Amino acid sequence: MALCGYSLKRLCAVLSPLPLFRAVQIFEWIKKGAHDFSGMTDIPLGMRQELATRFSLFDSTVQTQRSDSTGTTKIGFKLRDGAIIESVLLIDQKGRSTACLSSQVGCPLGCTFCKTGSMGFVRNLKSAEIIEQFVQLHAGRESIDNVVFMGMGEAFLNSDALFESLDILCTDWHISPRRITVSTAGVAAGIAMLSAQKYDIRLAFSLTTADSQLRERLMPITKTNPLPLIKEALCNYQTHHKQRITLELVLLKNVNTRPDDIQALISFAHGLNVVVNIIPWNTVEGISLQKPTNSEIHSFAQALEHAGLNVTRRFGRGSSLSAACGQLGYRQ
C-alpha cells in the first residue's frame, strides 16, 4: 500500500493507531521528496523499519525521464497495473515552473489533432496516481508555481478523482487555487461541477474552432456537448467565479484559420471575459496535419486583437521531447 498520494486526513486514518504527529512527519517528508522511510530521521529507526514492511511511498515507478535545454522535463510513469502515463514540468523564460498532470490513461475523446486521442481510452486515474505525478515533479524543488490539468485525458470525465486531487493540492500542499487550471475539451457537466466548487480554480476551454460543423469533425465531443451548451456553462462559471477563462485554439494550417473561423470565434467570445491562447499545432507522428505558417498565425491573432480580444501565443516548450500540447502518449 502506497502513502504518497493521500490527503493528510486519509494518511492519519491509514497510519492509525500511530499518533497524529507521526502522520504529519511522514507527510512532510513526502513533501520534501523522500522516496523511502530510511531517511526520515525524526522517526525512530524501529518504527521506520516496521513502516517499510507494511507500506511503500509510491505506487508508480519512473519509466522514462528526459529534459531539454530549457529545463522542461517529461516523465513517463509506470503504474501498478503496467499502464503508462506521461506528465511534464514546464519552465518558462522567467524560470516559473508548471506541473502538467494527466487524469486518464489515454483519452476517449478522439480529437483528430492529438496524440493522446489517437491512443484510445484505457482507464481513469485514481486521485493518488494524479497526486503522485505532482509529488515526483515537485521533488528537488522548493515549490511549483502553477499546476495545470492539461496532460493525458479529459479531467472532467474523471471528476471524482479530479476534485479530490484539487482538494489535496489546495488544502495539504497549500497551492493557491488561482495557480491551478483545469483544461477541458468541452464537458458541460464538468464545467458546472467546477462552478459549484468553493475554490476559485481557473478554467481553460479547448475551443480550437467556434465553427460547430468543423469542430464536430475535429473534436467529436461537440456532438454531445454543442457549443451553445458549453457557452451557457462558461457564463455560469463566470457568474460564480470572477476568473478570466482561457480559450485555447490549436491552429491547423488551412483548416481553422479562415475568416469564417475568426468571425465565429469573435461571436462565441462575446459576453465572456476571456483570453485567447493561440497554440500552433505541434507535429504528431502519424497525423497528417500541418503547422500554420507564421503569416497565418499573425493574421489570425491580429484580427482577434482588432476585435478587442486579448490574445497570447504559446511557443511549444517541450516540443523537442514530444512534451508539448497534444504530443503526450507513451508507446511501449
The catalytic residues are 86, 325
DSSP-derived 3-state class of residue 106:
strand
54 vs 1: CA distance, rounded Å: 7
Is residue 81 within 8 A of residue 66, CB to CB? The reply is no
261 vs 161: CA distance, rounded Å: 35
Residue recorded with cell 479530479: 162
Phi and psi (nearest 5°) for 87?
-140, 165
In one-letter notation, the amino acid at residue 204 is A
Closest CA to 104 of 82, 85, 131: 85
The H or E element containing residue 145 is none
Joined grid coordinates for residue 311? 490574445
- In the chain, helix, strand, coil percent, each to 5? 40, 20, 40
Residue recorded with cell 520534501: 32
239 vs 260: CA distance, rounded Å: 29
